[in-house]
């Protein structure tokens, strides 16, 4: 019985094994597999909701984003936080006479149900040092008089 791990050129699968080794050693494929986790990793926005006396405070961590890349939409029963990041990098290699251009686009979002009795018109947001803080004032409670 033949051993596939050694360089036995007479083995019927020797050429195939050599081709596979070469395929996985080539730079584009090698770098693709190095970044495979990033390709399948779906980002989400971590949030924490706290109830205070007068308001609810929603804190979201967005460390790699800037204020202009963040959008907040308020609906009747939920709030959506979206962030987008676009990047373009160009380089010129004079020795190889090659021009390389890479671009990337990433968009993440998180939808959070609004707590009961939130005054949607008074919601405020502040973004600083990668931390988005959304202040949602509680609506006025209305007591009904029973007749």
pLDDT in tens, 67-113: 999 999 998 888 999 999 888 888 888 787 787 888 888 888 999 98
Residue tagged 């973004």 (tokens): 127
> Alpha-carbon distance 46 to 85, whole Å?
17
pLDDT in tens, 106-136: 888 999 988 888 877 889 999 999 999 999 9
User: What per-residue string of b and e applies to 36-70 under the rule 16 or more CB within 10 Å gives b?
Assistant: eeeeeeeeebeeeeeeeeebbebebebeebeeebb
Q: What is the pTM of this model?
A: 0.60
């Amino acid at each position: 019985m033949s051993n596939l791990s050694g360089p036995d050129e007479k083995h019927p699968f020797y050429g195939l094994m050599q081709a596979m080794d070469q395929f996985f050693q080539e730079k584009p494929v090698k770098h693709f597999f190095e970044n495979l986790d990033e390709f399948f990793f779906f980002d989400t926005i971590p949030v924490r909701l706290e109830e205070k006396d007068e308001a609810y405070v929603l804190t979201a961590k967005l460390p790699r984003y800037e204020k202009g890349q963040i959008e907040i939409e308020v609906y009747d029963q939920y709030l959506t936080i979206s962030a987008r990041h676009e990047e373009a990098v160009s380089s010129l290699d004079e020795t190889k006479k090659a021009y390389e251009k890479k671009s990337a686009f990433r968009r993440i979002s998180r939808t959070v149900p609004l707590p009961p009795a939130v005054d949607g018109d008074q919601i405020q947001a502040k973004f600083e040092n990668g931390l988005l803080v959304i202040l949602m004032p509680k609506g006025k409670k209305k007591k009904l008089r029973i007749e």
